[in-house]
């Protein structure tokens, strides 16, 4: 499970950084500035592209911020979240007047199968599960965690429904195959000044996602290392900042290399299959844990077990089957590596295994 989540978080970090890079370059172009094509995107993303330099640099910057300590990065993150919500609301309000219902005709051009295929590659909701990684630093996790997770998911769902409604109403969906669709749609309808504000806001807003993903990945590998599943370097903390500095920089370095050389489409598919696999395992685990420990008292329990978890697992598996064989092959190779690591190293070193 932890090995799968490592794929999910580090690839998601790279994918989001790729989107950040596109909005950053869109903002620069408004001032007549352009990054050389060779350094503007990953190979295959654009003609002549060799390395996504902006994406790699923002990951390294976020890595530096997180390595300074949770307190500093949390304060910055809280400020940026407010800006992000304001920017999303600005787009919905300013773009609503330009919505043309005919852009929704036909409403489901590729049928229900198209909806399923699209849903399988959507990962903008990703991050609510990462809240659980901070449970050790929450005063009342049994109560706060369920509220935080469901609250975050609910707010994001409402906001993104609004964004999707306005975005596809402003511009026909066939024209939105770009890496900065919100700014693009505003430019199409002539709201260039708002597009500039949105691009700037997107840069700031996406930064919060990057911080959350770096933090989640570091906390995950920290916990695995502390249990003995990974080398001790991942759980070694700096005496002053009390943060796993080496772990943080290793995460940042790997993600920076990935965003530099892998295009967004490939990253999105890898994030999706990693996430769907993780949610499938979690759904099954809920049933197993409930059966093993039926009398455990908890502030929150998943309702309608086993029906709800079974439905969840079936949906996740169905969505995963729509992804390409190339994506599946990469995922299976990663899992195979994880199995080898577990049986040759982690199984012998795990402190949890020693207690059973």
The answer to whether the beta carbons of residues 10 and 271 sit under 8 Å apart is no
Q: In angstroms, how far is CA 76 from the centroid of its own chain?
A: 19
Provide the pLDDT for residue 11.
92
CATH of domain 2-263: 1.20.1740.10
The answer to whether the beta carbons of residues 174 and 106 sit under 8 Å apart is no
Measured CA to CA, the distance from residue 28 to residue 183 in angstroms comes to 13
Provide the pLDDT for residue 72.
56
φ and ψ at 140, to 5 degrees? -130, 75
What is residue 283's DSSP assignment?
A: H
Provide the pLDDT for residue 257.
96
Q: Where are the domains of the chain?
A: 2-263
Residue 248, CA distances (Å) to 74, 113, 283, 341 in order: 15, 40, 29, 21
What is residue 236's DSSP assignment?
A: P
Helix (H, G, I), strand (E, B) or coil at 43: strand
Neighbours of 115 (CB within 10 A): 11
Per-residue pLDDT tens digits for 279-334: 999 999 999 999 988 887 776 788 899 999 999 999 999 999 989 899 999 999 99
**Helix %, strand %, coil % of the chain (to 5):** 75, 0, 25
């Amino acid at each position: 499970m932890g090995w799968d989540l490592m794929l999910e978080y580090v690839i998601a970090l790279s994918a989001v950084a790729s989107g950040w890079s596109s909005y950053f370059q869109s903002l620069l172009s408004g001032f007549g500035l352009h990054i050389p094509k060779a350094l503007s995107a990953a190979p295959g993303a654009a003609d002549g592209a060799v390395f996504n330099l902006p994406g790699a640099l923002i990951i390294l910057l976020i890595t530096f911020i997180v390595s300074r300590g949770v307190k500093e990065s949390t304060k910055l993150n809280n400020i940026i979240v407010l800006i992000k919500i304001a920017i999303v609301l600005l787009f919905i309000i300013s773009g609503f007047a330009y919505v043309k219902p005919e852009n929704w005709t036909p409403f489901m051009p590729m049928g229900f199968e198209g909806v399923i295929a699209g849903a399988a590659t959507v990962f903008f909701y990703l991050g609510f599960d990462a809240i659980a990684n901070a449970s050790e630093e929450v005063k009342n996790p049994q109560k706060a965690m369920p509220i935080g997770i469901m609250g975050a998911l609910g707010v994001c769902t409402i906001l993104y429904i609004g964004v999707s409604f306005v975005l596809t109403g402003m511009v026909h969906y066939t024209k939105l195959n770009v890496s900065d669709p919100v700014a693009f749609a505003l430019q199409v309808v002539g709201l260039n000044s708002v597009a500039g504000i949105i691009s700037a806001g997107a840069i700031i807003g996406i930064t919060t996602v990057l911080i959350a993903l770096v933090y989640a990945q570091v906390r995950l590998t920290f916990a695995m290392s502390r249990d003995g599943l990974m080398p001790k370097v991942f759980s070694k903390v700096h005496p002053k900042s009390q943060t796993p500095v080496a772990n943080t920089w290793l995460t940042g370095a790997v993600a920076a290399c990935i965003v530099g050389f892998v295009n967004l489409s490939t990253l999105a598919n890898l994030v999706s299959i990693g996430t769907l696999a993780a949610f499938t395992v979690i759904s099954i685990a809920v049933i197993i844990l409930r059966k093993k420990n039926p009398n455990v008292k908890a502030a929150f329990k998943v309702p309608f077990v086993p029906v709800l978890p079974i439905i969840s697992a079936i949906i996740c598996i169905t969505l995963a089957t729509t992804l390409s064989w190339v994506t599946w092959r990469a995922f299976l190779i990663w899992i195979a590596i994880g199995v080898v690591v577990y049986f040759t190293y982690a199984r012998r070193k795990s402190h949890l295994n020693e207690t059973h």
